[in-house]
Structure 1
């Protein structure tokens, strides 16, 4: 393959093989002790944007990128990059998937708190299934081609230092014509996830999907979204993605759309209910009646105790998520995207369990973004820690 100018001599090639390591050492309630990775769901996917990868050489990564506040840990054919600032903020990034599994922040009381929710469970073959965290779930389309999306990333550069901020830049390409940068920036009180797309093909490129951030909470019953009053929203089925967490009952009811369904029908184009009991049928009917009807948020202090799956079409650029159970909060902000996806599994689940989270996504689901030939698009999601 002939590389474009984007592929400089500093590119580190990373294996895309999936490990099959046994997960007996995992504790189900301590998902941040990550030791291996496996794709969540096995379903047909669109063509994948990728470049050739070689096995990870952690020793080389340490030598090449030392002095920036980043350390690397080898995990079978994968790798964890840990970003550490002197003020106590840390983030963990898995390669080559680009999944951010941890964001720990210092608190006003002197301790540290994990803001992200990541679940580790055992797969059918005995390997580890990792879900949650912060991930990219975007689909690309162009004239005359099948839909595709990036699933593997190459480490391109690391900048900054442990005193102020650390920036990790990952890259991927599609047929050497569409260049994608996934940039993770850890500052003293902010974790930013950035996607930069350069369209070098002669036709228009369409982008749809979302950033997905699973924010851990004690329980949705103690969690409130502040600042959304007056925002318009549309109820939609939960968005299923490679690393997304959705309760099994939601999937069985058919309220989510897998990527292969999105390719043929478009995001959230329809529901295929598998509910058999009368209770499930009533729930299905209720949700379908709500779908597509635009409503206005009438609460500025919105409690998230009920199941909800919405796309806000006119939300402010930032709003706050408060967890009274953990006495913590996080401010979620965005750039370059107009929509906000919000999913809460509700408070019917066990406290501090796999489903004790709220998923927030800065998105382009209802209105895809179009890039003309030569266009460059930039979208950013910010997670701000106001607890210092």
Structure 2
């Protein structure tokens, strides 16, 4: 089990090699449970839905992970001091849309367009636990010359997703990557916001294309009509490529936007520049909750809200955010590896 950071992620002995378990065609439920199941880690299968693993720690906080595509479809932390005090944090639609998804797109060095790569499904590599207060599942897959590990961890007050990309080929590989989380807000647009980005530069930019997206890249930057005469303070988003500095302490996500927060690529080429914050908070004023998002390894923060477009996708409101490397791709040289992570934690007990 690979350990990325000292932020309470479970560690494994570096001297113990990881064995990739490739299940035979049509693996049985017993195969997964016998090999990996333990207290707090349960594998299940239902009809045509991909095999999932559910993690549940001592205080009842839980998450569900679809194994074949690495999609986290549910995260329900305990948020109140009462028996039924669990809230679904993620906004997930049928077809593995929304939730938390890892996006890795390989780019050609010449054009920065997506290069074709062999599709691959995730398989379970390992699991780990520390009593039942810390649980971890590691998935792995091969995409061309890239050996990718995806580590999902659950704790009583947080969940973490981490990725390790190793280049086993002979040529450098450029990748565009992100860990995008879709947060759910119960029928409340005006009560959604983000705090902690004040003073950071941003520009309008679409998200990376992914199978988990709710709004497509073209939809995300499509202009929204004025929400009405009484929507004071509303301004249309700037054009892509125009950089602006966040000048308010809280970004209200009532209206439509799609942004990348970071120093501009030109600024990042300098020896000294102001980087994006390492953490910020998602505010759900309607339910009186907030969640802290921590980025590691990534240089950018992606943030979007659907505005009136949310009506197309159910009654509840949602936003999409997470650490990213979109504007400046990550270069992974032969024999080297790149690591990135996201932590979602809360103090809502």
SS at match of 2:33: helix
Q: Figure out how many residues of one structure are paired with residues of the other and give that number.
A: 306
Give the CA deviation at 1:142: 6.0
The reply on whether 1:11 has 2:25 as its aligned counterpart is: no
Among candidates 106, 109, 112, match of residue 78 of structure 2 = 106
- For residues 303 and 239 of structure 1, the distance between their equivalents in structure 2, rounded to whole angstroms, comes to 23
1:29-70 CA-to-partner distances (Å, cap 9, x unmatched) read xxxxxxxxxxxxxxxxxxxxxxxx622311121111232411
Q: 1:162 to 1:345 in 2, by over 3 A?
A: farther
From 68, 85, 101, the counterpart of 1:135:
101
Q: Which residue of 2 aligns with 1:208?
A: 176
Q: Does 1:181 align with 2:149?
A: yes
Specify every segment of 5 or more residues in structure 2 that has no aligned partner in the other structure, as ranges: 1-15, 227-234, 263-274
Which whole-Å CA distance do the structure 2 matches of 1:386 and 1:334 have between them?
18
Who is 2:90 aligned against? 116
The 1-side partners of 2:62 and 2:323 are apart by 22
TM-score by length of 1: 0.72
Alignment of 1:1-388 (within 5 A): 8=19, 11-13=21-23, 54-76=25-47, 78-110=50-82, 111-120=85-94, 129-141=95-107, 146-148=115-117, 152-161=121-130, 163-175=132-144, 177-218=145-186, 219-246=188-215, 254-255=218-219, 290-313=239-262, 314-346=275-307, 349=310, 353=314, 356-388=317-349
8 Å Cα contact 1:69-1:161 kept in structure 2: no
**SS at the partner of 1:60?**
helix
How far did 1:138 drift?
A: 1.2
Structure 1: distance between partners of 2:313 and 2:143? 40
Is the 8 Å Cα contact of residues 204 and 372 (structure 1) preserved in structure 2? Answer: yes
Q: Kindly state the Cα deviation for residue 143 of structure 1 after the two structures are TM-superposed.
A: 6.7
The CA deviation string for residues 168-214 of structure 1, in whole angstroms up to 9 with x for no partner, is 00001134x42110110111111111110111211111111311110
Q: Does the 8 Å contact 2:157/2:347 carry over to 1? A: yes
On the 8 A contact 2:37/2:43 being kept in 1, the answer is no
| Cα distance change of structure 1 residues 101 and 118 upon mapping to structure 2, 3 Å threshold | same
1:73-114 deviation digits (Å, cap 9, x = unpaired): 112352111101011110000121110000101113421111
Residue 238 of structure 1: how far off its partner (Å): 4.8
TM-score (norm 2): 0.79
Please give the root-mean-square deviation of Cα atoms over the aligned residues, in Å.
2.9
SS in 2 for 1:106: coil
**Contact persistence 2:304–2:321 (CA under 8 A):** yes
- Tell whether the 8 Å contact from 1:142 to 1:203 is kept in structure 2 after alignment: no
Q: Is the 8 A contact 2:138 2:150 kept in 1?
A: yes
Q: Quick check: 146-155 or 197-206, which moved more? A: 146-155
CA distance in 2, matches of 1:220, 1:149: 40
Relative distance call for 1:300 and 1:289 in structure 2 (3 A) is closer
Query: Which consecutive residues of structure 1, in runs of 5 or more, have no partner in the other structure?
Result: 14-52, 121-128, 257-270, 280-285
